[in-house]
Amino acid sequence: MIITVTLNPALDKTARVEIMQPNTLNRLSDVRVDAGGKGVNVSAMISALGGNSLATGFAGGGAGEELLSRIAGQGLAHDFVRIKSVTRTNLKVVDSKGALTELNEPGPEITAEEYSALEKKLLGFGTNGNTFVLSGSLPRGLKSDTYKKLCGLLRQNGAAVFLDADGPALELALNSDTSALHGVGLPNFIKPNRYELLKLFSMEDQETSEKILARLCLQLLDKGVELVSLSLGAEGALFARAEGIWRCPGLPIRVQSSVGAGDSMVAALVYGFEKGLGMEECFALAMAASAGACTTEGTRPPSRNLVDEYLKQVSLQKIVYGNL
């Protein structure tokens, strides 16, 4: 079973503007509201692909009730911990050229009791053989090592973990105290973008080539991570595993909104893993799902038919380690 965990979900309000101008009035059009948060987006994409998952996390207040109502309206199975603080609402504005401006609230305050309730719930789902997707920002009240603790808890109870986070939360999770056991306690799979990967190695201000990026991915594999999915925006992605590194050029698409593209990549990967697809099939599906997400409005996932159309355009090229 795939379980998506969104610690800081949101109601995502997406709108369009001709030109986003600071310090003046901007009139919005085509306003839509979706259940948001990275894990929720992953569950929605898994459903669009024809799979099943269980979405969980924290939800509170009137916004939390609307969030759960919209999740249920999409036909997604869910089981959230109810909290006293109010779920956030985020505003995402897309201009006529597809440029995205995001205005995200910090999120609710999570108490120690509420976090303990979530840990108990996650273990109650059963861990052995399940895949947990931990993704997104951390709400107030939770320390930067929260994902590190959850990775250790779930991995040591037999689960696989896909972590999609950034900053200190990602850095700490990749420096687990149990890393000496070669991976036990570390996330199995991660999906940084270029900036997030470079920041892990204090190289975010440096010019880098594909070869350097590939080498950095290999260093993470050496720590015990099983898969590094490096998203490169319009340039495509790199997928690094012990068997090799695959280059996937970006697809020629007309971008409506890049919101949820990375989440769709994660969803397609875990869906492919659960279905027993081959590595290259999983990587190709991830690229097609990510491209499809860029062509839809808001955080709505692309249809399976659209993903299958983009799948025909995906090109995979294996990079030989010796050339790095």
Q: What is the pLDDT of residue 180?
A: 43
Can you tell me the distance from the alpha carbon of 87 to that of 117, in angstroms, rounded to the nearest whole number? Answer: 17
Digit-coded pLDDT (tens) for 57-116: 999 999 999 999 999 999 999 999 999 999 999 998 988 887 888 898 888 999 999 999
Q: Is residue 22 part of a domain?
A: no
**Is 155:130 a contact under the CB 8 Å cutoff?**
no
Q: Is residue 203 part of a domain?
A: yes
State the total domains in the chain: 1
SS3 279: helix
Is residue 160's pLDDT more than 50? yes
Structure-model confidence comparison of residues 179 and 51, the more confident one:
51
Q: What is the pLDDT of residue 99?
A: 84
**What percentage of the chain exceeds 90 in pLDDT?**
74
Give the residue numbers marked as catalytic.
263
Containing domain of residue 148, as a range?
Answer: 2-7+40-86+111-319
Q: What is the pLDDT of residue 179?
A: 42
- Burial of 61: CB neighbours in 10 Å, binned 0-12, 13-18, 19+: middle
Is residue 255's pLDDT more than 90? no
Can you tell me the distance from the alpha carbon of 135 to that of 319, in angstroms, rounded to the nearest whole number? Answer: 28
CA distances from 204 to 12, 46, 208 (A): 29, 32, 9
Q: What is the pLDDT of residue 177?
A: 58
Q: Is residue 236 part of a domain?
A: yes
| CATH number, domain containing residue 151 | 3.40.1190.20
Q: Is residue 251 part of a domain?
A: yes
The DSSP secondary structure of 145-198, one letter per residue, reads THHHHHHHHHHTTT-EEEEE--HHHHHHHTT-TTGGGSSBTB-SEE--BHHHHH
Is residue 257's pLDDT more than 80? no
Q: Is residue 224 part of a domain?
A: yes
Q: What is the pLDDT of residue 139?
A: 95
Q: Which of 22-26, 204-208, 257-261 has the lowest mean pLDDT?
A: 257-261
Mean pLDDT, rounded, of the chain: 91
Residues 6+ apart with CB under 8 A from 196: 166, 167, 170
Q: Is residue 102 part of a domain?
A: no
Q: Which of 35-49, 247-261, 301-315 has the lowest mean pLDDT?
A: 247-261
Q: Is residue 13 part of a domain?
A: no
Q: Is residue 91 part of a domain?
A: no
Over residues 23-33, the mean pLDDT reads: 91
- β-bridge partners, 91: 13, 103
Q: Which of 19-23, 48-52, 159-163, 303-307 has the lowest mean pLDDT?
A: 19-23
- Burial of 202: CB neighbours in 10 Å, binned 0-12, 13-18, 19+: exposed
